[in-house]
Amino acid sequence: MSIFHKEIKKKEIKTIEHFIESTEVDKFLELKMSTLFFLMQECATQQLEDFDMGKATTVDVGIYWVITRYSVDIVRMPRYLETVRISTYFKKASKFMFQRNFVILDAKGQTIIRASSTWCVLNKSNHSINFDPFPGKEVPTYSLDGELPSPEKVGDTESQVIDSRKVRYTDLDLHGHVSNTKYIDYIVDSHDGDFYDKHRISRFEINYEKELMSNDSFEVLSNSASPETIYIKVSDKTITKTKLTYSNR
């Protein structure tokens, strides 16, 4: 079932339109990967407000949403001056774990990106999982043909350090932690421009396991296999695990 026929309007689905501006693209005039994740997050945030699961019932009472996993399939990235439609919906919902899916269409109605993600709610005081953040609330769920399944765990492999960095102030989000979209920049930057002259990312899988904080020093590691696995670590603690699949440009 398509959600993009004008006559279909369901509260379970949130759709926004976005015009791709010059500050959002790379040298190939394609949307930056971190901006893609930002736009999906913003669409999700707007739907949370619609469901009364946003700031007033989370941040203002000492809890907050976190993303634990993402799986993204990319046919092509949106381009400069293009308008796309980003839609999101809850695929599954329990008291404490939520699967949220996304689909992005171009102006011709062609699907160019599909994604699935898992989310939970943490207590701000101790960063533990809140096992019943919305007591008595039923979360509307939905399903679409061709949607991605729940994102899987990224496994461990042998890897080598390829970069060392430090968290800076502008990396932080409203909770004082590194923004989940900033990790995407760290990961994409593990290769230089010469690599991306020949390759593009066609599948992006990430597991968020721990949080980076202000002034943390961390290492980026890679196994250089195909698909490539990239880790962000602080000492012996794994912060993120990412599996990337590339296609030729």
Q: What is the pTM of this model?
A: 0.94
Please check the confidence at residue 1 and state whether its pLDDT lies above 70.
Answer: no
Query: What is the average pLDDT score of the chain?
Result: 94
**What are the boundaries of each domain within the chain?**
14-123, 160-248
Cβ(131)–Cβ(203) under 8 Å?
no
Question: Long-range contacts of range 232-235, CB-CB < 8 Å, 24 or more positions apart?
Answer: 232/183, 232/186, 232/187, 234/210
Confidence class for position 49, pLDDT limits 50, 70, 90 = very high
DSSP string, 69-97: EEEEEES---BTT-EEEEEEEEEEE-SS-
Q: Which two tokens stand for residue 138?
A: 């039923």
Q: What pLDDT, on a 0 to 100 scale, did the predictor assign at position 9?
A: 54
96/204 Cα distance (integer angstroms) = 25
CATH 1.10.3720.10 given to domain 14-123: no
> 33 near 25, Cβ under 8 Å?
no
pLDDT at 230 over 80: yes
Percent of the chain with pLDDT over 70: 96
Say how far apart CA 21 and CA 39 lie, in whole Å.
13
Give pLDDT, residue 195.
96
Query: What fold, for 160-248?
Result: Thiol Ester Dehydrase; Chain A (3.10.129)
pLDDT tens-digit profile of 101-128?
999 999 999 999 999 999 999 999 999 9
Q: pLDDT for 139-178, tens place per residue?
A: 999 999 999 999 999 999 999 999 999 999 999 998 899 9
Q: Do domains 14-123 and 160-248 have the same CATH topology?
A: yes
Model confidence pLDDT, tens digit, residues 75-104: 999 999 999 999 999 999 998 999 999 999
